[in-house]
Structure 1
Amino acid sequence: MSEKQNKEIGKRLQDARMDQGLTIDYIQEKTKIQKRYLMAIEAGQMNDLPGDYYVQSFVSQYANVVGLDSHQLLAGELQETTGDGQRRNPTPIGPLPSRTTQHKQVVKESEFSRRYGKYAAYVPTVVVIVIVVLVLGTIWGMSHSGNTAQPHLTSSKVSVTNDASSSKKKESSSSESSNSSSKEKAQKITQVGTSTTEYDLKNAPSDGSSLSITAGTSNAWVSVSSDGTQSWAATLPTGTSHTVKIAKGISKVSISLGNAPQTTVKVNGKSFNFNPQNDTTQTKTITLNIKD
């Protein structure tokens, strides 16, 4: 983009922020982008950012917070005025909190992050250990149950035929029950109408879901929000993965991708094709509605 375009983008973002009474610190808290980069964007000094990839990613994140269309903004197609010459106000995401409320929220989130953020790195390890213990306990329990259930032949009246028939019936019943349970719990992801960025997730695990995000042949910036609250954001190096746990009761998950064509996502261990059209859009935000 030219210097003129950079300054135009920065001015539109700054105007949208000031029209809504938002501070640069509030934008930093919501996007997790350093304040000096946000100020450089508003000044149109895109060369101060790490590279073109981060310019598109940071501008997209900023635009989402102040209610601007990032794709039109980056393409230079966002209109300044309406048909009658009046200045168009950006479409807000929702009712904006007062500055006092914003300050309290920032203080609360910062305090929570200071107290408990250091434990977040251990969550995946703890989850894996718990799963392993449960699997080993189940195997031991089945083995122990099989040993104690051995019949003792104390009478010649034991009917082998009846026992075999009963065993077959139990196995058949168990198999049918297992198949029925498997069908009931099979998750399904479907596109919402004609949207290419919104999907419904049905039959999700009752104890919460998980997202596994992997960078391909180049770095990928990713941000995950649950019911409007950002739960994780980072740049994944080439070929690395990260798993985000979605808590029970969450109804909407937003996945913002800064390098969408080079990023893959799995939902509860199954591949999620969020780009069926195979478009080359770099920045993309995917919405996943979790249904019962």
Structure 2
Amino acid sequence: MSELREIGEILKTKRLEKNISISDVQEFTKIKSYYIKAIEDGEEDKLPDPVYIRGFIRSYAEMLGLNGEVLLQDLKLNKTREYNVSAMIKEKSKVNTDIRRSTKKIGRYIAIVIIIGLFIYGFYSLGNFLGVKIDGHNNSIVDNNISAEIDIGSVDKKPKDKPTTDKSNQSVNLGDLNAPTAKTEIKQMSKTADTAMYQVITDNDSYKLKIDIVGTRCWMDISVDGSSVYSGILTTGQSKELDIKSSSTVKIKLGKASDVAIYIDGQAVEKANVPGIYWYVFTK
């Protein structure tokens, strides 16, 4: 068995153990599903240059919580065959050349437009300047007309009466201040290597679920009562907030749990320092 096929089987087995689909891997790693399957099947001829293969394996392993560097130690790839990446590089060079040519043309057009604009501006500026010199004796008339239109005496200098506040009509409902604040309690029901299950107890009809990215990035899938409500990648500083009915069951699948902090009504949930896939389940 080739080293690549052996690595592929390790990755595939781990993926299936964690109930992760190839689509999930593609979403998190941005590796095309075609290449993911080729890695799992050990089909080197369907993969690009070795440097890309190693990068793919490293990212894939990291998502699963495995050490990619250890997996790659004994990997030997065929460096004599031609890889598809050469054609990709040629195509990219052609595209870059076309872009440079288009940019030069656009630059020329912009320069011409600027020159024409400056010429028109100069022409009108010169015309305005000459008009002021010729009709300069009319300026005083215009100024007088403007001054005449301003009636300083018409300005009402009397300060407006400040609205009075009738304090007798103001009242404080002490009953509202003394009303008990609804409390939310989080109880851990069980915990395994890749799943933590919690019970959310609240007096309210709903609670607020907040997910913060405290690391670099994390792919996640959130489902409520079996229906997916969000699937995507959040990066540093981003967060996701949801209002959850207290009777609902929430399942959160994280691609890199160590980069995530979860809060229920402002209360921090125990952080999972797991580099790979991890599940959080919240139920009533």
TM (normalized to structure 1)? 0.45
Q: Higher relative contact order by CA 8 Å / sep ≥ 6: 1 or 2?
A: 2
Q: TM-score, normalised by structure 2?
A: 0.46
Larger Rg, first or second structure (1 or 2): 2
